[in-house]
């Protein structure tokens, strides 16, 4: 399911930055923040507004992992699968999260609420296993608490 | 200035890269991502050579010749044991990436590699990611295609994987690709490339279709080419010139004949 994109809103976001090629990354970041992904319209609008060839906008948009060309959930749940977290039960946390959300790692729930991802070592091995929901880090996660963490985020909406 | 290659001295010009001299002198060094039409890029790593200099206190190193500018009295070795090993490793990797490419197979076998020791890529295409196609397209001023993605998933792609709006169907990318990876098709007066279709301009005399309307218009507008230049194809122009020439010759003969008569 692709969310509706309000082109006027898109133009408005783009207009916040100086209309020149060097604004490219900043503009894409702003759009990503707002829509949680870069819709095709965004790639095209950005190209014409900043005077950067479409192919180059696409190249940059696909290079950085901070950008996504697929719709993403409002919230992102990342499960660390680095060595330390792996040993401390991360695969079970992932399994729990997958069950709770009804999706696999790398996917987004159809209601665009959650995107589930695995990452490799976030540098907090001392508190393994680590789960990151949006900007918040949860350390020493109890696998049976995955539901509670996710519900907590849901309740805040 | 002069540089020494494999023990012999050669003339080199300021601003040239070592590879330019190697190519001019016909010294065989594989180089898949360098082309005179575009700036060097250093992607394929096959053109590595060893360099040293009498002023360097015995220091020597391996560099990509396509990116190394010449300097007076530079000493170059193109086939040291180390260099051959390096090229073998690169070819071994390229063969894993493009196991079906005749060009890569041939080059690898020249270095004694018939099968890669790595796991060959599944569903492999023949793109070695040399970046010549994207660079030539940019150089031409079209910027229709680019490198997309990163790491293992890096590929040459059109924006959003759709038919590229900035492509003019000039075929520069097709012609420059060292492994013939980029496909196109001319059917009648239609050209298809990168999932886009172009109408071809037909020669007003013989009807042969040769260039896309978009590319012709671009050249007329930007390269100081007369607006009717593409109305008639080169072959017809040539036979036209030949006809004119014949007329000219016969006219002179006629003149001579007339002169004789009057004399
Ligand atoms: S055919 Fe299209 S993609 Fe290829 S070089 Fe020409 S403009 Fe670029
Ligand atoms: S398509 Fe051809 S020219 Fe383009 S990067 Fe791949 S191998 Fe090089
Ligand atoms: S392995 Fe998970 S934080 Fe290091
Ligand atoms: S030709 Fe020098 S790296 Fe490819």
Report pLDDT digits (tens) over B88-100: 999 999 999 999 9
Question: Which residues form the domain of A152?
Answer: 75-156
d(CA B115, CA A103): 41
User: How confident is residue A123, by pLDDT bands cut at 50, 70 and 90?
Assistant: very high
pTM comes to: 0.85
A85/A152 same-domain check: yes
Would residue A102 count as lying in a domain?
yes
CATH of the domain at A15: 1.10.10
* Count of C-beta atoms within a 10 Å radius of residue B171: 16
Please state the ipTM of this predicted complex.
Answer: 0.85
Residue-averaged pLDDT of chain A: 92
- Per DSSP, B175 falls in state H
pLDDT at A135: 84
User: How confident is residue B260, by pLDDT bands cut at 50, 70 and 90?
Assistant: low
| Cross-chain CB nearest to A56 (options B146, B158, B164) | B146
Specify the higher pLDDT residue, B260 or B5. B5
Domains present along chain B, CATH in parentheses: 2-79 (3.10.20.740), 132-232 (no CATH)
Q: Which residue has the tokens 């071809």?
A: B200
Inform me whether the C-beta atom of residue A52 falls under 8 Å from chain B C-beta atoms.
no
A41/A103 same-domain check: no
A53/A88 same-domain check: no
Nearest chain A residue to B167, by CA: A55
A138/A87 same-domain check: yes
Specify the higher pLDDT residue, A91 or A156. A91
A107/A146 same-domain check: yes
Would residue A69 count as lying in a domain?
no
| Percent of chain B whose predicted confidence (pLDDT) is above 70 | 94
A50/A89 same-domain check: no
Express each pLDDT in B179-196 by its tens digit. 999 999 999 899 999 999
Cα dihedral B227/B232/B236/B242 (nearest 10): -30
A79/A53 same-domain check: no
A95/A126 same-domain check: yes
A106/A81 same-domain check: yes
d(CA B133, CA A1): 35
Does ligand 2 have an atom closer than 6 angstroms to the CB of B182?
yes
- Structural domain tally of chain A? 2
A33/A80 same-domain check: no
A16/A79 same-domain check: no
Q: Do A58 and B166 touch (CB under 8 A)?
A: no
Would residue A1 count as lying in a domain?
no
Q: Do A54 and B165 touch (CB under 8 A)?
A: yes
Does ligand 2 have an atom closer than 6 angstroms to the CB of B133?
yes
Measured over the CA atoms of residue B259, residue B260, residue B262 and residue B263, the dihedral's sign is: positive
Nearest in space to B125 (alpha carbons), one of B94, B105, B145, B98: B98
Nearest in space to A42 (alpha carbons), one of A67, A76, A73, A77: A67
Are B37 and B60 in contact by the 8 Å Cβ rule? The answer is no
């Amino acid at each position: 399911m692709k969310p509706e994109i309000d082109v006027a809103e898109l133009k408005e976001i783009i207009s916040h930055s100086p209309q020149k090629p060097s604004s490219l990354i900043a503009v894409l970041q702003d759009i990503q923040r707002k829509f949680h992904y870069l819709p095709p319209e965004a790639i095209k609008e950005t190209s014409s507004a900043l005077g950067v060839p479409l192919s180059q906008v696409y190249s940059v948009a696909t290079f950085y992992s901070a950008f996504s060309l697929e719709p993403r959930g409002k919230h992102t749940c990342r499960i660390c699968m680095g060595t330390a977290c792996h040993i401390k039960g991360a695969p079970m946390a992932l399994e729990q999260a997958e069950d709770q959300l009804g999706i696999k790692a790398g996917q987004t729930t159809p209601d665009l609420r959650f995107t589930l991802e695995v990452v490799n070592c976030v540098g907090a091995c001392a508190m393994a296993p680590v789960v990151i929901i949006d900007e918040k880090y949860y350390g020493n996660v109890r696998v049976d608490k995955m539901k509670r963490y996710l519900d907590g985020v849901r309740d805040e909406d | 200035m002069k540089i020494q290659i494999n023990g012999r001295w050669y003339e080199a010009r300021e601003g040239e890269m070592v590879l330019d001299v190697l190519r001019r002198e016909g010294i065989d060094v594989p180089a898949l991502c360098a082309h005179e039409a575009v700036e060097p890029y250093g992607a394929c790593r096959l053109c590595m050579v060893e360099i040293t200099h009498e002023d360097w206190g015995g220091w020597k190193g391996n560099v990509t010749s396509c990116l190394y500018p010449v300097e007076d009295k530079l000493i170059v070795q193109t086939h040291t044991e180390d260099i051959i090993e390096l090229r073998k490793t690169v070819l071994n990797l390229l063969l894993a990436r493009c196991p079906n490419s005749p060009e890569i197979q041939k080059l690898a076998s020249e270095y004694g590699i018939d099968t890669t020791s790595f796991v060959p890529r599944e569903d492999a295409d023949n793109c070695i990611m040399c970046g010549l196609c994207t660079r030539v397209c940019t150089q031409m001023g079209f910027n229709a295609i680019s490198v997309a993605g990163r790491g293992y998933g890096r590929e040459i792609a059109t924006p959003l994987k759709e038919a590229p709006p900035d492509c003019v169907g000039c075929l520069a990318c097709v012609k420059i690709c060292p492994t013939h990876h980029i496909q196109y098709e001319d059917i009648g007066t239609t050209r298809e490339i990168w999932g886009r279709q172009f109408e071809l301009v037909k020669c007003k005399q013989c009807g042969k279709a040769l260039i896309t309307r978009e590319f012709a218009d671009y050249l007329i507008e930007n390269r100081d080419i007369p607006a009717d230049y593409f109305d008639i194809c080169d072959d017809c122009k040539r036979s036209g010139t030949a006809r004119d020439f014949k007329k000219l010759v016969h006219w002179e003969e006629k003149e001579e004949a007339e002169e004789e008569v009057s004399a």
